[in-house]
Amino acid sequence: MSQKPFAVGSDHAGIELKRSLVQELEKRGFQVRDFGTNSSDSCDYPDFAHALAAAIEAGEVENGLLVCGTGVGMSIVANRHAGVRAVVCSEPLSARMSRRHNDTNVLCLGARVVGPDTALDILDAFLAAAFESGRHAKRVAKITPA
């Protein structure tokens, strides 16, 4: 992973899981940049996903974690930004393979889908994997239309 800060964001449904994963990231030595929310009050997930994804577009961060109820809404929003390849995962294999073959840079988790232990396993798989390039680079290049 990059030396740049690791970005995180959540809505109200994902805030508790985000907080626990931020603690784990910091234990592992990551500098974390939190794009909110910082409250359990109802809020709109696109606000936080757009902010995190815009930071990737600007080159301020390279990788991130977004957490909402299912992870789906966050991934839809994040993937609207150039250079963002966000993936929703509910088990570690998909997280690992998305990094290796798809060069994903944002992991989206559903706090209502996975528990804290599984979420940590998924995050660990995402963090440990690296893009394999090679034959996959040509495919990733085709993601963004010319």
CB of 71 within 8 A of CB of 108? Answer: yes
CB of 69 within 8 A of CB of 114? Answer: no
12, 43, 50, 68: which one is catalytic? 68
Is 108 one of the catalytic residues? no
Is 43 one of the catalytic residues? no
Q: Indicate the pairing of strand 32-34 with strand 6-10.
A: parallel
Q: Which segments of 33-111 does DSSP mark as H helices, in order?
A: 45-57, 72-78, 92-102
12, 81, 89, 101: which one is catalytic? 101
Residues with catalytic function: 68, 101
